[in-house]
Amino acid sequence: MSFDPATLVYDANGLIPCIAQEEATGEVLMMAWMNAESVARTLETGRVTYWSRSRQSFWVKGESSGHLQELVVLRVDCDRDCLLALVRQTGPACHTNRRSCFYTALRDGEEVEILQPMAG
């Protein structure tokens, strides 16, 4: 069955969440948003391209930082309202310079940092 980004289910702002997972390790790196054109560009270019809600513009991950996300495969969930991008991440995915954005764990009611910023 041929894929058309228009067949995905977008929210009221025309956006769909996309989870980025490191293909080699399975680590969940981040979650950000795409619109239909971001989805199309990601598939065309092989570079994961989100829609920045704060800047209201396309956001080619790593374009300014060099921390690119190379797309390995894009998956769609059962309800067609969430995407999973398996990627090869160069350097940190998080703007805090950590490998993953999910660096805070909740343990016994406390917040614990489990990842340090990468050396750079």
Residues of this chain that interact with a second copy (CB under 8 A) are 1-3, 17, 19, 21, 25-28, 30-31, 43, 73-79, 82, 84, 94-96, 98, 101-107, 109-111, 114
* Nearest-approach distance from CB 112 to a second copy, in angstroms: 9
* Nearest-approach distance from CB 97 to a second copy, in angstroms: 10
Q: How far is CA 59 from the centre of its chain?
A: 11
Nearest to a second copy of 68, 100 (CB atom) = 100
* Nearest-approach distance from CB 20 to a second copy, in angstroms: 10
* Nearest-approach distance from CB 38 to a second copy, in angstroms: 14
How many residues belong to the chain?
120
Residue 40 to residue 43: CA distance in whole angstroms: 5
Amino acid at 77: D
Nearest to a second copy of 10, 103 (CB atom) = 103
The SS3 of residue 41 is helix
Q: What's the burial of 17, exposed, middle or buried (CB within 10 Å: 0-12/13-18/19+)?
A: middle
Residue 62 to residue 69: CA distance in whole angstroms: 7
Nearest to a second copy of 53, 63 (CB atom) = 53
Nearest to a second copy of 41, 98 (CB atom) = 98
Quick one: DSSP state of residue 47? B
